[in-house]
Amino acid sequence: MKTYISIVALFNILGFIVYFIYKKIKTNRVSIPIIYIETEEEEEKYLSEYKFSIHTKILESVEKAFDEDIENIELFQVVNNYRGFTFVVMVERGSWLDSLTKCLNYYKETEEYELCGRTQKLIDKINDV
């Protein structure tokens, strides 16, 4: 059973910490990684170790969705064998600005200024539409 949640909801679930195993599945004409969680320790490690990757995946996915006029784009699938459920993390058009603002704040905190500029440029393009 798949449950879809927005990326905004993912940021609110700080307990989910997993590791990436990149297996490809086809969706929205793109491949997305599948993230497997097998233990409690993996849950606890994920967000701290993969914050940069998550934010970059959000930015790249929203850029693609904007350029190709896609309403919803899936980022990755999480298979939590430890807790016994699966869900797909996706960015919907209505949450693009909120998700990008969170990315921008993260990039500022981590002094990733090139990505700050790229993110701000995309925010401006979305606001101009």
**Domain ranges within the chain, ordered by starting residue:** 2-94
What integer is the mean pLDDT of 33-47?
85
Q: What percent of the chain has pLDDT over 90?
A: 54
Angle between helices 113-128 and 96-109 (to 10 degrees): 160
Question: Which region, left, alpha or beta, applies to residue 63 given φ > 0 means left and ψ of -120 to 50 means alpha?
Answer: alpha
Element (H, E) at 6: strand 2-6
The per-residue pLDDT for 10 is: 45
* Statement: residue 8 has pLDDT above 90: no
pTM: 0.71
